């Protein structure tokens, strides 16, 4: 049945006419800026340039000088999920955000309306080794499976610093209520939890290797018991799962870099990494990436040395940098966040836009599909009425794989109708209540 539905969907996609976007100010991010057109076929960008082929059956979108940029990629958010933290244990790598995706979270639509098309839905930072995370496209209206970014590498969340050690030194909040503290309580302990977990994972991998060897030699062998907690860590060790590490202070950043070198895995994204600018050289040398806020600071001690120049400084020292929102609100104007890296640290327009498009796409391992306007990539496009690095810019339309998922005109024109429907529903509910009220009062 599902296969049949897929076939139907596929044939519908094939049947969709090509789209030509005309008279646009195109910000490709990777190949500069041009005035012209984009040809989209089967959800992919086919041509992009001042002049493109216009197929006779093409649907033409007249952009009228609007700015078109690639869909914004937010590499760290907690929307579209029923739960964020499995904080009862210090190693929770067996849980997965993918199992609890919520495709009806209104935050998806609101983020779309801010030009975001791809996000990583992340486990929280309550523990040293957090849960599995997943990359989705904001295909609003589709079910949880329909949101998944097909082929995006899975992610495992790690966390350093204040958050993972908080449960280790819980104050007694209420008289008479004792809370069992959870190891670790220090930055030393956080690193130790990670190292222990990787040592276990390494031993577990070795068990499987020995088993496979025996089996291949035709010797009798009993397979090891599967360990769902260690499997994701093995995937990190083997480069099949991306390690994203929440961190703030320079010391912990360095500690986790050294740990990754000890166990020979790469960290595509140090997350938040507010003191990254202090150890940018080391981050670059380790080949790690960094995903930061632009100007959040002073909300906790480890954020007291945060500076809005962080992104620019790390870029200048050769780190692959992105911006992330971590917030359903902030993610609605990541273009304005990018503009701050021009103000603070003097990045160029393309460098600033890369922080919210191609760079996060690279950190998520999906840069072959999204993050720039180039032939062969997904037609994930955002239309702005002005240059997106202006604070006055408004998102007018958002397209994912050639399909419009947000249209401001349509949104506005439907408001009165939705308001009327809501009113009617409330009225009906009230009527029903009136009818049922006397009945309810009668004793049972």
Partner 1 sequence: MRELFVCLVCVASLAAADNTFLLRGATIHPVSGPEIRDGMLLVKDGVIAEVGTKVAVPRGVRVIEARGLHVYPGLIDSGTQLGLAEISSVRETVDTTEIGDFNPQLRAIIAVHPASEHIPVTRANGITTAVTLPSGGIISGQGALIHLDGWTWEQMQVQAPVCMVLQFPVIQTRQERPGARGPRPFSEAKRDYERRLQQLREFFEQARRYQKAKLAGSPEFRTDARMEAMLPVLEGKLPVLVHAVRERAIREAIAFAESQKIRLVLAEAREAWKVADLLKQKNIPVILGPTLELPLEEDDPYDKAYTLPAELHRAGVKFAFASFSTSFARNLPYQAAMAVAFGLPYEEALKALTLYPAQIWGVSDKLGSIEKGKWADLIVTDGDPLETRTQIKRVFIQGREVDLSNKHLRLYEIYSRRP
- Per CB under 8 A, residues contacting partner 1 are 106, 109-110, 113, 173-174, 177, 277-278, 280-281, 295-301, 303-305, 307-309, 313, 316, 328-329, 332-333, 336, 339-340, 342-345, 389-394, 411, 415, 418, 422
**Closest distance between partner 1 and the C-beta of residue 372, in Å?**
22
Closest approach, Cβ 338 to partner 1, in A, equals 9
What number of other Cβ atoms are within 10 A of residue 120's Cβ? 29
Say how many C-beta atoms besides its own lie within 10 A of residue 227's C-beta: 16
The residue (of 336 and 403) whose beta carbon lies closer to partner 1 is 336
Shortest distance (Å) from residue 117 CB to partner 1: 16
Residue 307 CB, shortest distance to partner 1, in Å, is 4
Place of tokens 């166990």: 263
Task: Provide the minimum distance between the beta carbon of 376 and partner 1 in the complex, in angstroms, as a whole number.
Answer: 32
Q: How far is the CB of 56 from partner 1 (least distance, A)?
A: 37
CB of 210 to partner 1, least distance (A): 47
* Cβ nearer to partner 1, comparing 211 with 296: 296
| Comparison of 104 and 262: residue with beta carbon closer to partner 1 | 104
Residue 263 or 383 with smaller CB distance to partner 1:
383
* 116-121 sheet: strands from edge to edge: 72-77, 116-121, 129-137, 155-159, 242-247, 269-272, 289-292, 320-323
Residue closer to partner 1, measured from CB, 244 or 340: 340
33 vs 343 by CB, closer to partner 1: 343
Contact yes or no for 273/290 (Cβ under 8 A): yes
User: CB of 428: closest distance to partner 1 in angstroms?
Assistant: 16
> Residue 235 or 337: which CB sits closer to partner 1?
337
Least Å distance, CB 427 to partner 1, is 16
Least Å from the CB of residue 110 to partner 1: 5
HEC-encoded secondary structure of the chain: CHHHHHHHHHHHHHHCCCEEEEEEEEECCCCCEEEEEEEEECCEEEEEECCCCCCCCCEEEECCCCEEEECEEEEEECCCECCCCCCCCCECCCCEHHHHECCCCHHHHHHHCCCEEEEEECCCCCCCEEEEEEEEECCCCCCHHHHECCCCCCEEEEECCHHHHHHHHCCCCCCCCCCCCCCCCCHHHHHHHHHHHHHHHHHHHHHHHHHHHHHHCCCCCCCCCCCCCCHHHHHHHCCCCEEEEEECCHHHHHHHHHHHHHCCCCCCEEEECCCHHHHHHHHHHCCCEEEECCCCCCCCHHHCCCCCCHHHHHHHCCCEEEECCCCCCHHHHHHHHHHHHHHCCCCCHHHHHHCCCHHHHHHCCCCCCCCCCCCCCECCEEEECCCCCCCCCCEEEEEECCEEEEEHHHHHHHHHHHHHHHHHHHHHHHHHHHHHHHHHHCCC
Of 142 and 394, nearer to partner 1 (C-beta) is: 394
- Quote the CA–CA distance of 341 and 212 in Å, as a whole number: 51
Nearer to partner 1, 235 or 302 (CB): 302
Q: Toward partner 1, which CB reaches closer, 208 or 297?
A: 297
Residue placing its CB nearer to partner 1 in the complex, 215 or 414: 414
**Cβ 162 to partner 1, closest distance in Å?**
8
Comparing CA positions, the residue from 302, 190, 202 lying closest to residue 245 is: 190
Asked whether the beta carbons of 378 and 45 are under 8 A apart, the reply is yes
């Amino acid at each position: 049945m599902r296969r049949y539905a897929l076939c139907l969907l596929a044939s519908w996609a094939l049947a969709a006419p090509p789209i030509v976007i005309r008279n646009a100010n195109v910000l490709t991010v990777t190949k500069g800026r041009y005035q012209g057109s984009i040809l989209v076929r089967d959800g992919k960008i086919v041509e992009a340039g001042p002049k493109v082929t216009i197929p006779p059956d093409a649907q033409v979108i007249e952009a009228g000088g609007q700015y078109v940029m690639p869909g914004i990629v937010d590499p760290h958010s907690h929307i579209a999920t029923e739960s964020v933290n499995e904080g009862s244990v210090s190693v929770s790598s067996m849980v997965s955000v993918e199992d609890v995706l919520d495709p009806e979270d209104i935050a998806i639509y609101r983020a779309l309306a801010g030009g975001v098309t791809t996000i990583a839905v992340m486990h929280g930072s309550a523990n040293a080794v957090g849960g599995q995370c997943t990359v989705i496209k904001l295909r609003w209206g589709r079910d949880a499976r329909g949101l998944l970014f097909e082929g995006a590498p899975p992610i495992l969340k790690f966390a350093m610093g204040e958050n993972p050690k908080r449960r280790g030194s819980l104050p007694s909040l209420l008289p008479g209520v004792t809370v069992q503290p959870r190891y670790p309580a220090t930055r030393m302990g956080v690193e130790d939890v990670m190292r222990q977990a990787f040592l276990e994972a390494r031993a577990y991998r070795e068990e499987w290797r020995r088993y496979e060897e025996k089996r291949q030699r035709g010797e009798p062998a009993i397979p090891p018991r599967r360990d769902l907690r260690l499997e994701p860590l093995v995937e990190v060790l083997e480069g099949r799962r991306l390690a994203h590490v929440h961190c703030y202070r320079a010391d912990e950043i360095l500690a986790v870099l050294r740990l990754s070198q000890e166990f020979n895995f790469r960290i595509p994204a140090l997350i938040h990494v507010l003191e990254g600018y202090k150890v940018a050289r080391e981050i670059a040398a380790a080949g790690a990436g960094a995903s930061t806020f632009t100007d959040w600071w002073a909300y906790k001690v480890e954020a007291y040395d945060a500076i809005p120049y962080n992104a620019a400084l790390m870029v200048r020292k050769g780190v692959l940098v992105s911006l992330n929102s971590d917030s359903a609100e902030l993610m609605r104007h990541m273009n304005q966040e990018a503009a701050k890296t021009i103000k603070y640290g003097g990045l160029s327009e393309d460098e600033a836009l890369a922080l919210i498009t191609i760079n996060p796409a690279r950190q998520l391992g999906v840069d072959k599909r999204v993050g720039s306007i180039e032939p062969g990539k997904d037609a994930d496009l955002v239309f702005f009425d002005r240059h997106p690095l202006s604070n006055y810019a408004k998102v007018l339309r958002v397209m994912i794989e050639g399909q419009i998922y947000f249209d401001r005109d349509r949104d506005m024109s439907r408001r009165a109708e939705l308001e009327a429907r809501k009113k009617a529903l409330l009225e009906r509910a009230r009527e029903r209540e009136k009818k049922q009220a006397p009945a309810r009062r009668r004793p049972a």
